[in-house]
Structure 1
Amino acid sequence: MNMAVLERPVLGSARGAALTGVRAPRTGRLAVGVLDLIEWAFQREKVGLDFDEIERETGARPGIGMEYLMMQQAQLGCRVQGGGTSPRHHDADMVAASLACLPEIYGGRRMAVQIAELARVGERPDCLMEAEQRCAPLDWRGTKHGRFAVVEVCRVPGLRWPADQLGKRADGSWCPVGYSVTGREIAAARRRYLSWYGALLHLRHIFQAACHLTSFVVTEAMPPRTPWQRG
């Protein structure tokens, strides 16, 4: 049969919690998850990703040796300047620097931009969690007897039923159908989510082991790894 693909319905991104309520403490260090820290940096401190500036200030080529460079910076007591007219929090600058130097194996600059854009609005990648594959006719027609699928004469060579099997109807009619969302689309969306999750795992390690954060301690907390699996 002619399986033309229906347009997939727009599904909203899988939202995380509401916009972050995290604030840098006046004293001590606050325990936060890696995603909370990133959202704090981009929502409250309004940091941005300026790859040229990060490279100029740190001497680092994004994606290469960031762990070593940040440990060296911590030992020297220096930090990446955030730019702009008002200084941003030290920890927010460290988040931006770490993200800008995300290794290519974890998505590099493209993944860094995706993480930053999602963090600003408190969202997560759309993994099509509520998507359901539905097979439906491509078109419908209304009659006095109700709503029926539109049928047409099959003119595709090799797919038309043999004449001796058509019975009284010799036109070989069929109903073209399509799928609202394909398995390939769902699989691709979930691979993108897992790539985002893997990048967060790497950043969690960087914030825990290589960043000298002054106001936060990064915990093991992570978003769900496979939110589409229930139970």
Structure 2
Amino acid sequence: MSMQGRIGRAGGTRVKRALGVQAALEWAFRVEKAQLELPPPKDVVEEGFGFGLEYVLMQRAALGCKVDGGQHKMGSDTHADAEVIAATVAGMPDTIGGKRMAIRAVELARAGLTPDWMPGAVPRCVPVDIKRNRHGDRAVSVVVGTERALIKGKWRSVEVRACPVTFRPDARQIEAARQAYEDWWQALCWVREGLIAGGMLREIELTGSLPKLRPWGDR
């Protein structure tokens, strides 16, 4: 049974299902299969946090849904609250990533995933290239110069070789992964605030639950 089917009434009063914003997105896009319909260019729709209610209302009208959540899009089984969530995500402003972040948030929600912030990653010194054969792995070396050496009583030119190394993952990769996680976290906050301010959810109640802001800093 879907989460939609478990939302019911008690004594004639609608009982809302309490969900954190990440769980609400996963319910909307993974369970209810809501679709992300991105808004027109920002010169058509005013950008900023204030867009939210107006854009959601337009989306709901286009979907054939009443604002009170009483009807669904004709021919669709998607819950009305899931459509509201999808419309809110679609209007994410450029200040927190815009359309690209909206798409990323939906991809993660559909997969039930959190962005990979590279837990436990530390830069390690490793060879730039490895040659593999039946005897095992061997670091590839390169010629970095020549030297004169006395070999068996004769002076000869010999190659000086060294193994190039690098750090993997490097500090920039780790920093970029963790910045991407923080950007996603900020987007979740924006979606949560927008949904609460809009007041259009009828069977879902958003809680204050959020993923950890910087899980790599926890002890």
What's the TM-score bracket when you normalise by the shorter of the two chains?
0.7 to 0.9
Name the aligned partner's letter for residue 17 of structure 2: L
Report SS of the residue matched to 1:130. coil
Superposed, which structure 2 residues align to 1:105-116 within 5 Å? 105-116=95-106
State the Cα distance separating 1:178 from its structure 2 match. 2.3
Report 1 or 2 for greater relative contact order, CA contacts < 8 Å, sequence distance ≥ 6.
1
Percent identity (aligned): 31
- The 8 Å contact of residues 61 and 101 in structure 1, kept in 2 or not, is answered as no
Q: Distance in 2 between matches of 1:48 and 1:98?
A: 12
Name the aligned partner's letter for residue 25 of structure 1: I
Q: Structure 2: where are the runs of 5+ without partners?
A: 10-14, 61-65, 152-156
- Name which of 113, 118, 121 aligns with 2:111: 121
Question: CA RMSD for the aligned pairs?
Answer: 3.4
Q: Distance in 2 between matches of 1:167 and 1:204?
A: 75
Name the aligned partner's letter for residue 50 of structure 1: E
- The 8 Å contact of residues 22 and 36 in structure 1, kept in 2 or not, is answered as no
Are 1:134 and 2:124 counterparts?
yes
2:18 corresponding residue in structure 1: 31
- The 8 Å contact of residues 29 and 217 in structure 1, kept in 2 or not, is answered as yes
Report which of the two has the higher share of strand. Answer: 2
- The 8 Å contact of residues 51 and 62 in structure 1, kept in 2 or not, is answered as no
State the Cα distance separating 1:229 from its structure 2 match. 2.4
Name the aligned partner's letter for residue 180 of structure 2: R
Change (3 A) 1:94 1:35: same
- The 8 Å contact of residues 28 and 85 in structure 2, kept in 1 or not, is answered as yes
State the Cα distance separating 1:180 from its structure 2 match. 2.5
State the Cα distance separating 1:225 from its structure 2 match. 1.1
Q: Distance in 1 between matches of 2:74 and 2:102?
A: 21
State the Cα distance separating 1:175 from its structure 2 match. 1.4
Q: Distance in 2 between matches of 1:114 and 1:186?
A: 19
Are 1:48 and 2:30 counterparts?
no
1:194 corresponding residue in structure 2: 182
State the Cα distance separating 1:79 from its structure 2 match. 6.8
- The 8 Å contact of residues 56 and 88 in structure 2, kept in 1 or not, is answered as no
Are 1:69 and 2:54 counterparts?
yes
Q: Distance in 1 between matches of 2:31 and 2:56?
A: 25
Partner deviation per Cα, 1:100-123 (whole Å, 9 max, x = no partner): 111111111111111111101101
Change (3 A) 1:62 1:216: farther
Report SS of the residue matched to 2:26. helix
Report SS of the residue matched to 1:125. coil
Change (3 A) 1:79 1:130: farther
Are 1:207 and 2:195 counterparts?
yes
Partner deviation per Cα, 1:139-160 (whole Å, 9 max, x = no partner): 357899x9754433204xxxx8
Q: Distance in 1 between matches of 2:118 and 2:106?
A: 21
TM-score scaled by structure 2? 0.74
Are 1:78 and 2:75 counterparts?
no
The higher radius of gyration belongs to 2
Name the aligned partner's letter for residue 21 of structure 2: V
Q: Structure 1: where are the runs of 5+ without partners?
A: 1-20
TM-score scaled by structure 1? 0.70
- The 8 Å contact of residues 82 and 88 in structure 1, kept in 2 or not, is answered as yes
Q: Distance in 1 between matches of 2:80 and 2:16?
A: 13
